[in-house]
Chains A and B, each alone.
Chain A
Amino acid sequence: MRSTRTVELSTGLFVLLGFAALFFMVTQITNRELSVNGGSYEVTAMFENIGSLRPGAAVSMAGVTVGRVDTITFDQNVYKAVVKMRIASNYNRIPNDSDAAIMTSGLLGGQYVGITAGGSEEYLKSGDRIELVQDALVLENLINQLVASFMGRRDEQNDSGAETSDDNQSGEGAQSKTEEAKQ
Chain B
Amino acid sequence: MKLLREVTGNAGDFAATVGGVTLFLGRILGQTPRALLRPSLIIEQVHNTGALSLVIIMTCGLFVGAVLGLQGYNLLLRFGSEDALGTAAALALIRELGPVVTALLFSGRAGTALASEIGLMRATDQLTAMEMMAVDPIRRVVAPRFIGGVIAMPLLTLIFIAIGIFGVQVVGVQMFGVDSANFWSQMRSSVALDDIAEGAIKGVVFGFACSLIAVYEGYTAVPTAEGVGRATTRTVVISAVLTLMLDYMLTAVML
A80 to B243, CA, bound (A): 44
Q: Within A1-55, which residues are at the interface with B (CB < 8 Å)?
A: 4, 7-8, 10-11, 13-15, 17-22, 24-26, 28-32
A118 to B202, CA, bound (A): 47
Residue of B nearest to A33 (CB): B188
In the bound complex, do residue A25 and residue B46 qualify as a contact, i.e. CB atoms below 8 Å apart?
no
Q: Is B120 an interface residue (CB 8 A)?
A: no
Return A52 CB to nearest CB of chain B, in Å: 14
A121 to B199, CA, bound (A): 47
Q: Is A62 an interface residue (CB 8 A)?
A: no
Return B188 CB to nearest CB of chain A, in Å: 4
Return B199 CB to nearest CB of chain A, in Å: 8
- Known A15-B155, A18-B154, A18-B158: A30·B193 in contact at CB below 8 Å: yes
Partner of A25, one of B154, B158, B190: B158
In the bound complex, do residue A26 and residue B196 qualify as a contact, i.e. CB atoms below 8 Å apart?
yes
- 10 sampled A-B residue pairs with Cβ under 8 A: A4-B40, A7-B44, A11-B47, A14-B51, A19-B155, A21-B162, A24-B162, A25-B158, A25-B161, A56-B192
Further 4 A-B residue pairs, CB within 8 A, beyond A22-B200, A32-B193: A14-B152, A15-B46, A25-B158, A29-B196
5 closest Cβ contacts across the A-B interface? A18-B155, A21-B162, A14-B51, A21-B158, A11-B47
- Known A18-B155, A108-B81: A30·B196 in contact at CB below 8 Å: yes
A10 to B48, CA, bound (A): 10
Interface size class of chain B, counting residues whose CB lies under 8 Å from the partner chain: 20 to 34
A32 to B190, CA, bound (A): 11
Q: Is A59 an interface residue (CB 8 A)?
A: no
In the bound complex, do residue B191 and residue A17 qualify as a contact, i.e. CB atoms below 8 Å apart?
no
In the bound complex, do residue A14 and residue B47 qualify as a contact, i.e. CB atoms below 8 Å apart?
yes
Chain A residues, CB < 8 A from B190: 110
In the bound complex, do residue A58 and residue B189 qualify as a contact, i.e. CB atoms below 8 Å apart?
yes
Chain B residues, CB < 8 A from A18: 50, 154-156, 158-159
Residue of A nearest to B158 (CB): A21
Chain A residues, CB < 8 A from B46: 11, 14-15
